[in-house]
Amino acid sequence: MLDIITQVRQVFEESEGQVIKIIEEKLKNIENSQAEDISTLTAPLELELNKLGRKLVKEVLELKDSEIKNSDERLLEGWKVERKNDKKSLITVFGETEYSRTYYRRENEVGDYEYTYLVNDLFGIGNHQRLEPLVEAKLIDAASDTSYRKSGKRTVNDVTISDSTVMNKVHKLEGLDEELEDKEEDNKREVEVLYIEADEDHVALQSGRNAIAKLVYVHEGYQEEYDKESSRSRLKNVKYIAGEYEESEEIWLEVVDYLYETYDMDRVKKIFIGGDGDPWIKEGLNWLPEAKFILDRYHLNDYVITATVHSKKHRNMLWGALNTANRDKVSILFSDLIGRTEDDRRKERIREARHYIYNQWEGIKNAAEDKDAINPSAEGHVSHILASRLSSRPMGWSKIGMDRMSKLRAFKFNGGTEKDIFALIRKRDRDREKQDFLEKMTVKKPGKNTLAGKYGEKKDNIPAIRRGKVRGTYQMLKGFM
């Protein structure tokens, strides 16, 4: 270890002169009144420091490889040198670094040979790994806001990472919800009213078809302070849940899990579910039977305009009837609108608007009669959180890509950071290392000695189990298996 530190210190000393030279040159220019700004100092320093970083990474890895090769511990564990000086390229935050490593083999208990690069094992570098975890985290974080191609070009200086590589890293990212749940307070919140709002984004797939990305968010109403930056009121303690859920109950299972993990539900007196009345949104009433549905006025307004496009007087009267939940008056107004219209196609559109309003009457009535009800704002949230990345640009997604990006966007709006993504990647890699170790330690013979034989089949036929949830509903379901 001391030899490595000594060598690293020498690398620093070699680079010190160039760094000082850059600073001296820029200071001299400033003193001579030459046009300079702070970037003329930081830009060359960044290049030099990145060069130093790459050199340090190479030195540390190669010196550690040499130390392992000369160690008694390696011999005691049975590792023998198979090849020397195998080259490996690794993209780090400093840029692309190439280093040399030693390849080893040893015979295991059943007479098979194991092969590995011990220095890679020590630093958690996979044999086919090209990116260090911090770069991977930066790529994923950047991809949440911009295209895969732009993320690959901008993340690491002087290195272009392909858009397919960025896409694969996003696809492999899992457990976004669990990472933020670990940060939540132990004490459950005590509120009397909760609001759940939902909507969807229609996303173009690479196949030419469309798919639906769903968004549900829970909050406690509007904060008293107005958000000047966004020019709108801010929701209080909002939590976003998003993704491609083929079965509606899957997303509602996550919502219910979040509610019972976060709130003292015995203290909650009212729950409102708001949206456009789509069946998957109303599915939430089956999971929370005490909840009331509130129809989103944004979608209601579309049908009011459709019905009254040629009569503003009827539009004002219709809104008055809807705001007071006066169904008789609504019926009279629609009859009058149909009676005044001669065009058959126009009549059909008015009837469609009436049909929608009658089908959503409970949501209209609840909004008019309950003083705690507020107008859902899901359309704006879908546009800001999902559509701005998924559907507002001409692009085609895979289903898994759409699902991962939806979850990543929700994660970011829930307060997730690059640091949190990095922690998730580290956890995933550690779990994979544990699994690899378990498989190596398990003698793979037919029957009970295989991993499947020893531990049984995976319980992945229930969505909550398949998605790896370990919260209340998961534990309840697992108890019945």
Residue spans of alpha helices (H) in 148-296? 148-154, 163-172, 176-181, 248-262, 279-282, 284-287
**Using CA atoms, how far apart are residues 335 and 263, in angstroms rounded to an integer?**
47
**Using CA atoms, how far apart are residues 202 and 209, in angstroms rounded to an integer?**
10
Please answer whether residues 135 and 165 qualify as being in contact, where contact means their C-beta atoms are separated by less than 8 angstroms.
no
Please answer whether residues 206 and 398 qualify as being in contact, where contact means their C-beta atoms are separated by less than 8 angstroms.
yes
Sheet containing strand 292-295, strands side by side: 239-243, 210-219, 193-204, 270-275, 292-295
Reported residue count of the chain is 481
CA distances from 241 to 382, 384, 398, 410 (A): 11, 14, 20, 6
Interacting residues of 365 by C-beta distance below 8 A, sequence separation 6+: 325
Helices 133-143 & 418-441, crossing angle to 10 degrees? Answer: 130
**Using CA atoms, how far apart are residues 395 and 177, in angstroms rounded to an integer?**
26
Q: Amino acid identity, residue 47? A: L
**Using CA atoms, how far apart are residues 362 and 268, in angstroms rounded to an integer?**
22
CA atoms within 13 A of residue 467's CA, in its CB half-sphere: 26
* Per-residue pLDDT tens listing for the chain (481 residues): 657 777 777 777 777 778 888 888 877 777 776 666 788 888 888 898 999 999 999 999 999 999 999 999 999 999 999 999 999 999 999 999 999 999 999 998 788 899 999 999 999 898 889 999 999 999 999 999 999 999 999 999 889 999 999 999 999 998 887 756 655 556 899 999 999 999 999 999 999 899 999 999 999 999 876 555 555 678 999 999 999 999 999 999 999 999 999 999 999 999 999 999 999 999 999 999 999 999 999 999 999 999 999 888 999 999 999 999 999 999 999 999 999 998 999 999 999 999 999 999 999 999 999 999 999 999 999 999 999 999 988 789 999 999 999 999 999 999 999 999 999 999 888 888 777 767 766 644 444 444 344 334 444 444 444 444 445 554 444 343 3
